[in-house]
Chains A and B, each alone.
Chain A
Amino acid sequence: MAQYRRIGVTNNNDVAIVSFNDKKILDEASIQELGAELFGLVEQHNMGDILLNFTNVEFLSSAALGKLITLDRKVKASKGRMKMCNIRPEIFEVFQITKLNKVFDIRKDEAEAMTAFS
């Protein structure tokens, strides 16, 4: 089992549920580390589904958006599905402005996301 510093991972019906340890995702070094952990998870959890739960996240920068876009592409390439949930309104607005709400499958909470996976 991999050790993570930036994320927490639990498994629910073959969906890897990811939570974030940082409230603010903006520091370049942390974002690099976060990206490496998320990409590693996709490789390890090949062909699987991933749910990113943003409950803990109060702020994220455009560099973090870049990692999420790359992650989404990697998950799709490995025939998995990626969804996001519990995104606070300010961050959802960032997704709307950048139109990433069209790219990402964004759900209200874990229950709604899990239903959508099944």
Chain B
Amino acid sequence: MTESQSPQNTSSDKSSWQKSIDLPSERGASRLIMDELLDKLGEHGWASADIFSIHLAAEEAIVNAIVHGNKLSADKKVHVECFVSPTVARIEITDEGDGFKPNEVPDCTQDDRLEVPNGRGVMLIHNFMTRVEYNEKGNHVLMEKVQDA
């Protein structure tokens, strides 16, 4: 099996780590990357509060891609690319769904929506990460956290 055909692709040197992986569209599939991502954040000196933030953002975005993007379809994958250095943590997530419009997600902090049980993931991602960008279709998100100097 050549490197390009491998579902996983990891590279690592002393200063940074990166990995790409295709996740199946199943509930709980985020665990196939999450533990390693959290370990690498710790190894690169990220504080526990930042690791919490990145964990939450990554978890929410991967769940959204699996459930809302790919609609749990067995023949669709969620592609995840991670990059971790001592100052930058970047996660890119692409699903095979029709995409969504992030600015059309209702504001869950409005008084009349405060008690609606869902719809908080996107807001948490924006609050916990330094930079969050979607492609025009809305099936790809890049999120990045930059360590304060």
Contacts and interface: CB of A to CB of B under 8 A. Distances in A.
A binds B: yes
A89 B120 contact: no
- Chain B contact-residue range equals 20 to 34
Q: In terms of DSSP, what is the predominant structure of the interface of chain B?
A: helix
A22 B53 CA distance: 19
Given A73-B115, A98-B109, A29 B123 contact: no
A61 interface: yes
B99 interface: no
Given A28-B27, A29-B27, A98-B108, A61 B56 contact: yes
Contacts of A98: 108-109, 120, 123-124
A31 to B, nearest CB: 10
Interface string B112-133: 0011111011011001100000
Given A28-B28, A29-B27, A98-B124, A66 B56 contact: no
Q: In terms of DSSP, what is the predominant structure of the interface of chain A?
A: helix
Interface stretch (A1-9, A13-21, A99-107): A99-107
A90 interface: yes
A99 B109 contact: yes
- Chain A contact-residue range equals 20 to 34
B117 A67 contact: yes
B127 A103 contact: no
Contact of B28 (A27, A59, A70, A94): A27
Contact of B49 (A66, A72, A89, A99): A89
Interface string A31-72: 000000000000000000000000000110111011101101
A97 interface: yes
Interface of A: 26-29, 58-59, 61-63, 65-67, 69-70, 72-73, 89-90, 94, 97-100, 102-103
